[in-house]
Structure 1
Amino acid sequence: MADIKVDVYSDIACPWCYVGKRKFGIALEKMHNTNPNIKIETNWHPYMIDPGTNINGEKYMDYNVRRWGGDGWCYELREAGKQVGANFANWKIWPHTLLCHCLVTTVIDKTNDPKKGDEAVNALFEAVYENGENVSDPKVVARIGKELFGLEESEWNNDERKKIVRQKDTMAKREMGISGVPYFVINNKYVLHGAQSQHVFFNAFKKVAGI
């Protein structure tokens, strides 16, 4: 049983979630190296920041212009990312992420292993921001699901799974009142909102662990 449980609400189409995950990962590694007896379990939950995105995804600049008039705001994002290995080397598409969440939740449900969910999230982030892939495309998501987890597309790309993801998304927004991600809940008690520094995450872990 984990000493610390972290529930993360996040979206593949959220570049700050990508940066936040990198910082969170650095803190996890530091915690493991300095306090190896403390077990931390991370559970990923679906959240769609913009369900109105074209179902096939939208080109990077087209989306930025439509939403904000340009991509000037991304300068700070990219600078923050570089410091933690989120390089945004080949970011071409703003994806619609329903299928991404279908894959991640299926991986978690079928393996009953939160670490596998973490692997799925990593792979999807890498695909979008570093490899220039469109994870709105079921073929792209299917390749990731098959190569990494041996899943057939029919196991996650179906109406039942889509309904589950939409319900979880609605619960996060309406019942939990989450209005932005990344959103971290530690031991069902402490909340960290946004791409906090790795130091904030690490100190939060120590506080919860009582060390």
Structure 2
Amino acid sequence: MKIEIWSDVMCPFCYIGKRHFETALEKLPFKNEVEVEWKSFQLDPTLSTSETKNTVSYLMDRKGFSENQSAQMVNQVSKMGKMTGLDFNFDQALVTNTFPAHKLLQLSKKYHQSSEIGEALFKAHFVHGENVADTEFLISLADEWGIDADKARQALTSDQFDHEVIQDISEAQHNGIRSVPFFILNGKYAVSGAQPVEIFENALQQAYEETVSSLKDFSDDGNACDADGCTN
């Protein structure tokens, strides 16, 4: 069973949703039969990769919120994070263009480490206040996870993975995805937002049961071969 997940590094609900989804998946007996693919999405592609803003200032500029409204929103999200075991540090978080971070995520797929790198990027942004658009930081992060530094530098300083990032974003638009996190289960079921663990667990269970049932239906149709011969 395949799960596709669109998210952005600077989306706090994506971090919460990732934790809820992974907690739900870990509870299920078929967890090792699930393939997870992380997809790129940008909440604000107009941001510059050479500049950073703090979260409250960004919400005031981008959303038109007052300083008090922005601070209240940040506090509310921080409380949600704590309930999930995440410590958001919005005072340190640097809002910037996340395209470079998504290029690293695309590279990490080659090493089967997209979930781990995604987690590291979330933590870098929301907890440690790192600049996730900074090439040197991203190279050092890749190196920490055993990804060759030279290959990371090549990926981040060229257009090597631009197409993959853009393709994911285009696919999201084609599927009508306007907000993240967004989960598509087996190309059939959609789960939007940082839903509770129970919602993810139920959705995964239903998608898996339908997948198994579908396979059983096909196997009952005959027209197959095994070591004893063929039937139709």
User: Structure 1 length normalisation: TM-score?
Assistant: 0.87
SS state at 1:131 partner? coil
Match of 1:163 in 2: 163
Q: Higher relative contact order at CA 8 Å, sep ≥6: structure 1 or structure 2?
A: 1
CA contact (8 A) 1:106 1:155 kept: no
Match of 1:202 in 2: 201
Largest Rg, 1 or 2: 2
The alpha-carbon distance between structure 1 residues 171 and 36, as it changes in their structure 2 partners (threshold 3 A), is closer
Task: Work out the CA distance in 1 between the residues paired with 2:98 and 2:86.
Answer: 19
- Is residue 129 of structure 2 the alignment partner of residue 123 of structure 1? no
Match of 2:189 in 1: 190
What amino acid is the match of 1:84? T
- In structure 2, stretches of 5+ residues that fail to align are 211-232
What amino acid is the match of 1:107? S
SS state at 1:184 partner? strand
The alpha-carbon distance between structure 1 residues 171 and 210, as it changes in their structure 2 partners (threshold 3 A), is closer
**More deviation in 83-92 or 200-209?**
83-92
Task: Work out the CA distance in 2 between the residues paired with 1:200 and 1:27.
Answer: 8
What is the percentage of aligned positions where both structures have the same residue?
29
How does 1:94-133 map onto structure 2 within 5 Å? 94-108=95-109, 110-111=110-111, 113=112, 116-133=113-130
What amino acid is the match of 1:98? F
SS state at 1:210 partner? helix
Match of 2:7 in 1: 10
Task: Work out the CA distance in 2 between the residues paired with 1:38 and 1:162.
Answer: 30
The alpha-carbon distance between structure 1 residues 149 and 37, as it changes in their structure 2 partners (threshold 3 A), is closer
**More deviation in 150-159 or 73-82?**
150-159
Tell me how many residue pairs correspond in the alignment.
200
SS state at 1:164 partner? helix
Task: Work out the CA distance in 1 between the residues paired with 2:206 and 2:25.
Answer: 14
- Is residue 53 of structure 2 the alignment partner of residue 54 of structure 1? no
Give the drift of 1:47. Answer: 0.6
Task: Work out the CA distance in 1 between the residues paired with 2:199 and 2:183.
Answer: 12
Task: Work out the CA distance in 2 between the residues paired with 1:171 and 1:198.
Answer: 26
Task: Work out the CA distance in 2 between the residues paired with 1:8 and 1:146.
Answer: 25
Per-residue Cα deviation, 1:109-144 (whole angstroms, up to 9, x for no partner): x22x2xx11011001001011111111111111111
- In structure 1, stretches of 5+ residues that fail to align are none
**More deviation in 66-75 or 133-142?**
66-75
Match of 2:35 in 1: 41
